DNA sequence: CTTTTAGTTTTAGCTTGCTTAAAATTTGCT
DNA sequence: AGCAAATTTTAAGCAAGCTAAAACTAAAAG
């Protein structure tokens, strides 16, 4: 089964991976075609066209005018690509010291080029990591993917309590550079000291001092309660 | 927009690399379209068609009905891809222990997926190797490629003298398995003890004993005079 | 219930890279 | 030189992925 999924076109792979990622991120089964078009930087028509092919291949179900949903086979393929992508990111970051904000773009291409056998070797070489350098969980070789259920957006946590950064949602290079510059990284301790209702920004306390984060930014930083 | 470029580039890259490799292997500047068609497993018409596009991009010169030749720009692109391919082969073999006969196929895909910056990091990580695991020289980052001028085909060397294996021309998996099985590897000592004119096969002496090699096989093994 | 708006689908047409078939050209052999 | 074989080129056509623009659907607002 795996092999027949492997030899798909590059475009097919990117579409399926995008559906899987949008579905996970938004917490819904049915994904709007519009979201796909925005994410892949193509027209709605291109997505609608491709959906027909993906349906024919048994990878997605089209709920006409409502959105699309991955089949089991589609989910399998999606998780496989997410696995490849995140393993490459760990490899690039820990073994080759490629900067944090460059690994995503490089992995975007490598994810399609390596066989499952090679990815398993890399997985082993890296000591079977469970998350990528941005804190995202790495699916297993058998196609399963687990989440951190305790994770919350930094924008939603209780004021005054201590939290630890576990994950950064966006992978945009300038966003990551901004966070790095202000001392953010996986494992860093943070606390919300003030909350501004008019623009939903938050004032954060962390080791380096305090810092005000816009809604857009704080929303993309995920944390868990500190165990101290 | 998206990755329509990638697909175009992928085909272009494989064509250019093939011209470069055939040119080097055959020791000529002008390559027959027929050779390309055989190597890439497409029709002559497909090659002829693609040549028009490559000419338009300034990568090749078409000597009508006689064959094609790379421009300086084409050579630069060709050596770049050969560099990527061979660096990946070294990495796969020495760092991840991927078997000798599997690395070529895997590198065939990875060569298109990594940036120059990444390949330079891998080059450094590997300690700037000069040859790939099959003994082929690795072009430098600046696009230069040097050869071992003393190298000779095992089929052409003087009888009774000692030689050391430096390179295997063919990359076919079963051919490489055959050689490994009989004790061949880069650096192994060999001597031609007998030569059969009727089929141009040769009888070889090596550490493991003696072995008779067909013309097709001995021709693809390259050696230099032993320095003992 | 009708209108507005946001999102989806269809239609027509483009480029790339391939195919087969046929025509053009070169090369090799008597 | 003359002819046949091999090679290259052209021609016509197909599938994948894209675009722009028009047609359509569903749901919210009036
Ligand atoms: Mn990423
Ligand atoms: Mn990708
Ligand atoms: Mn190779
Ligand atoms: Mn290749």
Q: Which residues of B touch A98 (CB under 8 A)?
A: 118, 121
Residue B170 is part of which domain span?
Answer: 152-225
Q: Chain A: give the shortest CA distance to residue B77, in Å.
A: 19
Query: Is A126 within a domain?
Result: no
CATH (domain of A25): 1.10.10.10
Separation of A47 CA and D29 C1' (Å) = 29
A42 touches chain B (CB under 8 A): yes
For residue A129 the two structure tokens come to 């990591």
E runs forming strands in A145-200: 152-153, 162-168, 189-196
Domain end position, chosen among B70, B98, B121: B70
> Which residues on adjacent β-strands are paired with residue B212?
B203
Please, are residues B203 and B191 in contact by the beta-carbon 8 Å criterion?
no
Confirm whether A32 is domain-assigned: yes
Query: Residue A95 corresponds to which tokens in the numbers above?
Result: 């073994």
Structure confidence at residue B8 (pLDDT): 59
CA-based nearest distance B213→chain A, Å? 33
Domain endpoint, select from A27, A54, A70: A70
| CB < 7 A contacts with chain D (nucleic strand) | A 9-12, 40-46, 49-50, 53, 64-66; B 1-4, 32-34, 37, 44-45, 47-49, 51-52, 62, 64-67
Determine the pLDDT at residue A175: 87
Last residue of a domain, one of B22, B49, B70: B70
Residue B79 lies in a domain: no
| pLDDT tens string A2-25 | 343 445 688 999 999 999 999 999
Q: Name the packing angle between helices A33-40 and A10-26 (round to 10°).
A: 120
Residue B110: inside a domain: no
Looking at chain A, which runs of residues are DSSP E strands? 60-63, 67-70, 152-153, 162-168, 189-196, 201-206, 209-213, 221-225
Residue with tokens 């005018």: A65
Alpha carbons within 13 A on the beta-carbon side of B157: 29
For the entire predicted model, the pTM comes to 0.91
* Average pLDDT for runs of 10 along chain B of length 228: 50 97 96 98 98 97 97 97 98 96 95 96 98 96 89 93 93 86 93 91 92 92 91
Q: Is residue A109 part of a domain?
A: no
Nearest in space to B207 (alpha carbons), one of B152, B154, B162: B162
Tell me the per-residue pLDDT of A161-188, one tens digit each, with 9 for 90 and over. 999 999 998 878 888 899 889 999 999 9
Is residue A195 situated within a structural domain?
yes
**Residues in chain A, total:** 228
Domain count, chain A: 2
Is A141 domain-assigned?
no
């Amino acid at each position: 089964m795996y092999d027949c999924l492997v030899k798909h076109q590059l475009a097919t792979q990117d579409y399926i991976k995008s559906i899987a990622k949008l579905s996970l991120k938004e917490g819904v089964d049915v994904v709007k075609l519009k979201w796909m078009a925005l994410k892949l930087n193509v027209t709605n028509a291109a997505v609608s066209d491709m959906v027909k092919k993906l349906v024919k291949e048994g990878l997605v179900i089209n709920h006409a005018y409502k959105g699309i949903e991955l089949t089991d086979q589609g989910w399998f393929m999606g998780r496989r690509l997410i696995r490849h992508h995140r393993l490459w990111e760990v490899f690039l970051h820990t073994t080759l010291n490629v900067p944090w904000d460059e690994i995503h773009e490089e992995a975007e291409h490598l994810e399609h080029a390596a066989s499952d056998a090679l990815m398993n070797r890399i997985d082993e070489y890296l000591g079977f990591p469970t998350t990528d350098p941005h804190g995202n969980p790495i699916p297993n070789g058998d196609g399963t993917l687990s989440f951190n259920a305790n994770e919350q957006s930094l924008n939603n946590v209780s004021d005054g309590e201590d939290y630890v950064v576990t994950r950064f949602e966006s992978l945009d290079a300038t966003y990551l550079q901004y966070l790095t510059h202000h001392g953010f990284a996986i494992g860093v301790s943070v606390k919300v000291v003030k909350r501004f209702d008019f623009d939903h920004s938050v004032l954060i306390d962390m080791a380096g001092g305090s810092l005000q984060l816009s809604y857009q930014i704080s929303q993309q930083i995920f944390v868990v309660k500190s165990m101290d």
